[in-house]
């Protein structure tokens, strides 16, 4: 399995905590406040360098510690037959990232080593929230299947920062509303890298749509749900022309109206926004289908399986849908870490009980059951 063992020190109530001998399906059970979700948070930090529970660093570090340390061993390559990755975060803002004990500067190296998918109570925002989470969803997928995407994305971010700086400078001068050659040069570069991003994003949504339709059909009896990519500027005009035409309003706003930073996925059921008509349980099935579709596509393209983190899997789902979701995760052969207060809710949901490992979590420690 990808993640064989995990060591956590200083993350919330996890101090000198371990998960040893992780299996393909790992169920973390225990009462509220025992540390179940914190173990998922630790794995998320290990793969993405950030928490899914807090945008601030200080609250996630144990109050008795100056820093948190997370170390994991993955079953792939390496001189020792595994790959090690590690993350350090301190209260003073120090950051340390390591792959095979060697320091790395880029979180992208962690993401490549440990591709993660999270399904929790906040995941509903993928359908019901604003466009930002859907852009992140797209960009995660394109990053993992198209190596050239990251360079285009970084260049676009650089161009947008420079353009917005120039727009604010124009606004500060008030009477200066001339579209300058300097701004035109940045617009040209932004248009070039955005065209590459647009093509890769559009192709990616086309590719995962097939997986999504099949998975959703297997999980629920909902009518078809459509995924329509929106690139962030008009379909009938180039981005550079759109940027020039919006110059006056952008100066007033102090930011760029059109571009890849406005991209979105329009998710609809029967021609209306899916978030307007779906129940919580149905939303969870749609979100799960989207996340599983990403994993299925990555496995098909590169033979790489995602690690799935599912916080309180039984919530919002009846027994039939819990079983369908568990069986599909089982069938995909991916590794999963699942929290639930009582493992009985999903105990009989697996086609291969031997692939399941159960961990009792209490006071920030995890004790594995013998199968």
CA distances from 128 to 69, 265, 279, 349 (A): 34, 11, 11, 28
Q: Does residue 138 fall inside a structural domain?
A: no
- Residue 347: helix, strand or coil by DSSP? coil
* Residue 247: per-residue pLDDT: 93
Domain that holds residue 111: 1-115+305-371
Secondary structure letter of residue 82 according to DSSP = S
Count of structural domains, the chain: 1
For the chain, the first-to-last Cα distance in angstroms comes to 17
CB contact at 8 A, 85 and 110: yes
Give the H/E segment covering residue 37: helix 36-48
- CATH number of the domain enclosing 329: 3.40.50.300
- Contact between residue 334 and residue 325 where contact means Cβ atoms under 8 Å apart: no
Beta strand spans in the chain (E): 3-9, 17-19, 25-29, 67-74, 83-90, 95-99, 102-103, 116-119, 225-230, 264-269, 272-273, 307-310, 335-340, 356-362, 365-368
Q: Establish if 287 belongs to a structural domain.
A: no
Please state, as a whole number, how many other Cβ atoms lie within 10 Å of the Cβ of residue 318.
9
Asked whether residue 147 is domain-assigned, the answer is no
Sheet holding 264-269, edge to edge: 225-230, 264-269, 272-273
125, part of any domain: no
pLDDT in tens, 316-369: 999 999 999 999 999 999 999 999 988 788 877 888 788 899 999 999 999 887
Is the distance from CB of 20 to CB of 45 less than 8 angstroms? no
- Rounded CA-CA distance 145/204 in Å is 9
Cβ-contact 26, 336 below 8 angstroms: yes
Is 205 contained in some domain?
Answer: no
CB atoms within 10 A of CB 99: 19
Answer for the pair 329, 352: CB distance below 8 angstroms, yes or no: no
**The two three-digit tokens of residue 209, written as one number:** 């749509």
Q: What's the pLDDT score for residue 368?
A: 84
* CA atoms of 289 and 126, how far apart (whole Å): 11
Contact 209, 227 (CB under 8 A): yes
**What is the chain's length?**
371
- Give pLDDT < 70 ranges for the chain: 1, 77-80, 174-176, 370-371
Spatial neighbors of 142 by CB under 8 A, at least 6 apart, are: 149, 200, 201, 204
Residue 277 lies in a domain: no
3-class state of residue 202 by DSSP: helix
Instruction: Flag whether 76 is in a domain.
Output: yes
Q: What is the pLDDT of residues 11-55, one digit of tens each?
A: 999 999 999 999 999 999 999 899 999 999 999 999 999 999 998
What strands lie across the sheet with 25-29, from one edge to the other?
116-119, 307-310, 335-340, 25-29, 356-362, 365-368
What's the chain's Rg over C-alpha atoms? 22
Alpha carbon separation from 150 to 53, 111, 230, 306, 361 (Å, rounded):
25, 12, 20, 19, 38
Whether the CB-CB separation of 232 and 260 falls below 8 Å is answered with yes
d(CA 43, CA 61): 15
């Amino acid at each position: 399995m990808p993640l064989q063992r995990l060591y956590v020190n200083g993350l919330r109530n996890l101090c000198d905590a371990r998960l040893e001998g992780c299996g393909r399906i790992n169920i973390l059970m225990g009462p509220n406040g025992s540390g179940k979700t914190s173990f998922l948070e630790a794995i998320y930090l290990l793969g993405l360098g950030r928490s899914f529970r807090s945008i601030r660093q200080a609250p996630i570090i144990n109050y008795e510690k100056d820093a948190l340390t997370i170390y994991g061993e993955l079953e792939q390559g390496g001189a020792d037959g595994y790959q090690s990755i590690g993350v350090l975060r301190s209260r003073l803002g120090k950051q340390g990232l390591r792959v095979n004990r060697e320091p790395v500067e880029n979180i992208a190296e962690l993401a490549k080593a440990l591709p993660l998918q999270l399904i929790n109570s906040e995941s509903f925002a993928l359908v019901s929230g604003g466009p930002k989470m859907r852009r992140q969803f797209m960009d995660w997928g394109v990053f993992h299947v198209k190596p050239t995407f990251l360079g285009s994305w970084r260049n676009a971010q650089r161009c947008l920062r420079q353009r917005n700086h120039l727009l604010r400078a124009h606004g500060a001068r008030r009477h200066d509303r001339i579209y300058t050659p300097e701004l035109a040069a940045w617009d040209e570069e932004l248009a070039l890298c955005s065209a590459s991003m647009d093509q890769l994003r559009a192709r990616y949504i086309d590719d995962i749509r097939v997986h999504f339709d099949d998975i959703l059909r297997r999980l629920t009896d909902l009518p078809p749900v459509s995924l329509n990519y929106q690139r962030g500027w008009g379909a009938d005009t180039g981005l550079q022309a759109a940027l020039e035409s919006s110059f006056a309003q952008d100066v007033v706003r102090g930011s760029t109206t059109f571009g890849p930073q406005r991209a979105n996925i329009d998710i609809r059921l029967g021609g209306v926004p899916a978030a307007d008509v779906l129940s919580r349980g149905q939303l969870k099935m749609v979100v799960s289908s989207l996340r599983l579709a990403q994993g299925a596509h990555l496995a098909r393209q590169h033979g790489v399986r995602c690690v799935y983190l599912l916080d309180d899997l039984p919530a919002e789902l009846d027994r039939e849908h819990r079983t369908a979701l568990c069986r599909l995760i089982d069938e995909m052969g991916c590794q999963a870490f699942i929290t639930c207060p009582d493992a009985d809710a999903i105990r009989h949901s697996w086609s291969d009980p031997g692939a399941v490992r159960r961990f009792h979590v209490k006071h920030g420690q995890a004790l594995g059951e013998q199968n």
